[in-house]
Amino acid sequence: MKKKLFPLFISLLSLSGTSVTAQDLGTTTHDVPMVQLNNGILMPRFGLGTFLQPSDEVCEQSCLTALRAGYRHIDTAHAYQDEAGVGRAVKASGIPREEIWITSKLWPTEYGEGVTLKAIDEMLERMQLDYIDLLYVHQPVGDFVGAWKDMEKAVAMGKVRALGISNFDASDEVFQLIMDSSRVKPAVLQMECHPYAQRRAMRDKIKPWGIQVECWFPLGGAMSNGTLFKDPVIKDIAQAHGKTPAQVILRWHIQEGFSVIPGASNPDYIKENIEIFDFALSDDEMARIRALDKEQRFFNMSLDEKRKAYLHTDRPNLKRISEEKK
């Protein structure tokens, strides 16, 4: 009963114009803070990203390692081709489904009214799940307006709990189009964000809607070649706390109010990344890291490049694209 009624509450809340500002409200296991999204539901602000997992099978083991370490949020996508592994891990973990937040993303070839609902059903089938907690339109190209209409229907049907936009920081035009076209407003914006690219203008833009920021490449990603880990300020703060540079960066994200999804397949890194809730950065340390902002993004594909690369393929070679952008 709860599963059927809750999405209806979300739809009515969004359609009525009621705004719930994103705010922390309690914690999940391992002291991970929960944020209340603008539709009233709670999301863990720390999770595992599964982008560029070596294989679906490795993804399954990575997710199991994460869940056993205290993670309760897993981010995947159709384009990553590892959703089935995520679903198997959820089942094998023995953790009640309602305690795990599952995010996935639709690819542009799945966009369109009358097309996207079928794609959502196929996504649920791949993961062997009854519902998805957060569903994104992955890229701001193609008929994302039509996709959004079907996504709103999926919310009303109880198949999805919250809707988000990924990479809609690409231009003012695509962001405004989705905001003007949507009845159920986006609850989360996912974009590249880290100490060298803190995205302050975009953060200010989404504030009126209470949209939560979720950061991909929070540690810079593979194409950064570990640049953030070598920064003297971050290294100095890490040494002061007896932590790694990665842990300091992730702690900064949490204290800055972001949701953060570091990707890893190495079990040691997965466990290391969540060990950030037993210390805190001082106001001075937060200010020192904020001062590193220079809007230096490590992935810089233009909107036109995305249209050419993403619109005509169901199985994008994201690894190749990432390598080309290094």
- pTM of the predicted model as reported, rounded to 2 decimal places: 0.88
* pLDDT at site 223: 85
Mean pLDDT, range 127-143, rounded to an integer? 97
| 8 has pLDDT over 50 | no
pLDDT band at 314 (very low <50, low <70, confident <90, very high): low
Least confident interval from 15-24, 250-259, 283-292 = 15-24
| 325 has pLDDT over 50 | no
Distance from C-alpha of 304 to C-alpha of 50, rounded to nearest angstrom:
26
The per-residue pLDDT of the chain, averaged, comes to 89
- The identity of residue 18, as a single letter, is T
* Region of 178 on the Ramachandran plot (φ > 0 left; ψ -120 to 50 alpha; else beta): alpha
pLDDT band at 21 (very low <50, low <70, confident <90, very high): very low
Distance from C-alpha of 79 to C-alpha of 324, rounded to nearest angstrom:
17
Helices (H) and strands (E) in the chain, counts: 13, 11
pLDDT band at 323 (very low <50, low <70, confident <90, very high): very low
Q: Which two tokens stand for residue 16?
A: 């009525």
- Span 30-57, pLDDT tens digits: 789 999 999 999 999 999 999 989 899 9
Distance from C-alpha of 271 to C-alpha of 159, rounded to nearest angstrom:
31
Catalytic residue among 80, 111, 136, 196: 80
Distance from C-alpha of 230 to C-alpha of 226, rounded to nearest angstrom:
7
- Span 270-300, pLDDT tens digits: 999 999 999 999 999 999 999 999 999 898 8
| 7 has pLDDT over 50 | no
* pLDDT at site 24: 59
Distance from C-alpha of 243 to C-alpha of 232, rounded to nearest angstrom:
14
| DSSP summary character for residue 48 | E
The answer to whether 245 and 234 are in contact (CB under 8 A) is yes
Please say if 80 is a catalytic residue. Answer: yes
| 16 has pLDDT over 70 | no
